[in-house]
Amino acid sequence: MAKDTFFQKKATINARGTLIDLNTPRVMGIINLTPDSFFSDSRKPVVEDAVAQAGRMLADGATFLDLGAYSSRPGAEDISVQEEIDRLLTAVEAIVATYPEAVLSIDTFRSPVAEAAIKAGAHIINDIAGGQLDEAMFDTVARLQVPYILMHMKGTPQTMTKLAQYEDVFGEVFDYFVQRYEQLRQMGVHDVILDPGFGFAKTAEHSYTLMSRLQDFDMLQLPILAGISRKRMIYGLLGGTAQDALNGTSVLNTIALTKGANILRVHDVKEAVEAVKIWHQITNIGNHTGNRIP
């Protein structure tokens, strides 16, 4: 019997009045408005380059574009709130003007940045810190009534590498989601997406453990985002650098789909969309023959 007989996940989110169905997995394209993000090809600090990248990703099939103006790679430089806003808003405004149909996610853990971007036309807040680095974040999300991506991380981008210690990594991440989601639910936040935070305060072994049990997060009945694109957990195992990790990313994205991921957050949209199409075709055949893939 398929696992979703028992756990009916929330399957839609409301982005400024548009209902987006996540029963078919969606792809989120990464656009970094930073000069120092870990994958150099994702760096688009010039507004015109960010807009062009947005166009390419939308043409390749991205449902969401995730814009970040603060690098969260391990040991990244800490920048001011104002600098983050300055980097972000011109790009948000330009993309909204050029591609008004685009659904924009804002990768920030700071509530003033999140609010400014939403008011500029963005739709979703993607918080790597799950509200832990800004106590006003949950209030802001509840007031703005926007979808919220709740990620697990310990510490900050500057300190997280030293905090990758767990007795039971899955159990601790699961409990974190239970506690943080309950707070959000009580505050009236309706659309929450869970992100286990692969590589954030986690060793490669921790990240692969979470991937191996990704389907168990379905017990929380919320959509799951998998963000493993070109990360060290891939090229550390296979060799090379982030530049060499596209094939490994595609393999791991496909595994994530089989384990119930609803959103793939990626640098390479075309390849992720192809993985979703192939997965969807196989799943549909399984449904029609009565042999659904578990």
6 occurs within a structural domain: no
Residue range(s) defining the domain that contains residue 249: 18-289
248 vs 22: CA distance, rounded Å: 24
9 occurs within a structural domain: no
Q: Which residues contact 285 (CB under 8 A, 6 or more apart)?
A: none
Q: What is the pLDDT of residue 42?
A: 56
196 occurs within a structural domain: yes
Sign of CA dihedral 291, 23, 211, 215: negative
Q: What is the pLDDT of residue 41?
A: 63
**What is the pTM for the complete model shown?**
0.91
2 occurs within a structural domain: no
8 occurs within a structural domain: no
Q: What is the pLDDT of residue 225?
A: 98
CATH of the domain at 159: 3.20.20.20
What does the angle CA 50 – CA 54 – CA 57 come to, to the nearest 5 degrees?
135
Q: What is the pLDDT of residue 10?
A: 77
121 vs 137: CA distance, rounded Å: 18
DSSP state of 29: E
* Tens digits of pLDDT across the chain (294 residues): 344 444 577 789 999 898 999 999 999 999 999 876 555 565 566 899 999 999 999 999 999 999 999 987 766 678 899 999 999 999 999 999 999 999 999 999 999 999 999 999 999 999 999 999 999 999 999 999 999 999 999 988 888 989 899 999 999 999 999 999 999 999 999 999 999 999 999 999 999 999 999 999 999 999 999 999 999 999 999 999 999 999 999 999 999 999 999 999 999 999 999 999 999 999 888 676 655 444
Q: What is the pLDDT of residue 76?
A: 66
55 occurs within a structural domain: yes
Of 125, 85, 84, 93, nearest to 106 (Cα)? 125
Indicate if 265 belongs to the active site: yes
Which of 26, 87, 110, 231 is labelled catalytic?
231
The kind and range of the H/E element at 28 are: strand 26-32
101 occurs within a structural domain: yes
13 occurs within a structural domain: no
Indicate if 231 belongs to the active site: yes
Q: What is the pLDDT of residue 198?
A: 97
Give how many domains the chain has, as a whole number. 1
Which of 265, 270, 277, 292 is labelled catalytic?
265
The amino acid sitting at 46 is V
